[in-house]
């Protein structure tokens, strides 16, 4: 006597196979190594050197208290040639 699976059993197997395949695909997609995210580059700051040249400096190289200088302080600080 041969017992063949009925239509309900085939439908359940099909759904089970699809769910297993979808779960496997999601699992592999989640475990896939990703490229490192690009860090946003800070814009360089324009600064005046002691000899009067204008240079651009990255923010990561600056430390300490920052304050804006007034015109008389800049004129007294810059060395003239």
Query: Per-domain residue ranges for the chain?
Result: 1-33, 45-77
pTM (whole model) above 0.75: no
Q: Assess contact for 50 and 77: CB atoms under 8 A.
A: yes
Residues 5-46 have pLDDT tens digits of: 667 767 888 999 999 999 999 998 888 887 777 776 778 889
Q: What pLDDT, on a 0 to 100 scale, did the predictor assign at position 49?
A: 84
* Terminal Cα-to-Cα distance of the chain (whole angstroms): 110
């Amino acid at each position: 006597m041969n017992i063949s699976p009925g239509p309900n059993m085939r439908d359940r197997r099909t759904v089970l196979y699809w769910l297993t395949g979808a779960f496997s695909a999601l699992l592999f997609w989640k475990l896939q190594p990703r490229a490192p995210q690009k860090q946003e580059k800070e814009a360089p700051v324009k600064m005046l050197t002691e000899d009067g040249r204008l240079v651009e400096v990255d923010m990561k190289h600056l430390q300490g208290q920052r304050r804006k200088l007034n015109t008389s302080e800049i004129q007294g600080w810059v060395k003239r040639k």
